[in-house]
Amino acid sequence: MSGYILLDETNGGGYYLGKKYIFQGCQYPCFANSKEKAKVYKSEKVANKVAEELNWECGARYEFGVLEVD
């Protein structure tokens, strides 16, 4: 399946699962260690928008980038 996935570039390179959780009032993204479990976005534009929103919502703890997969 081709598309785009989000990769956390600051904390060991986890792949974003498409979910968030709240712990003590802060939002945290859910990660997977394999590309196969990551949420796949069909368009690069949508993936970039989600990465931008996550970077804003989760603060300076995370920096998401977009990775193309085949």
- pLDDT, mean of residues 49-59: 89
Residue 6's pLDDT band, with cuts at 50, 70 and 90, is very high
Gyration radius of the chain over CA positions: 11
Q: Are 16 and 38 in contact (CB under 8 A)?
A: yes
Q: What is the pLDDT of residues 12-42, one digit of tens each?
A: 779 999 998 999 988 889 999 999 999 999 9
Q: Structure pTM? A: 0.84
- Can you give the pLDDT at residue 27? 83
- Can you give the pLDDT at residue 1? 66
pLDDT greater at residue 46 or residue 56: 46
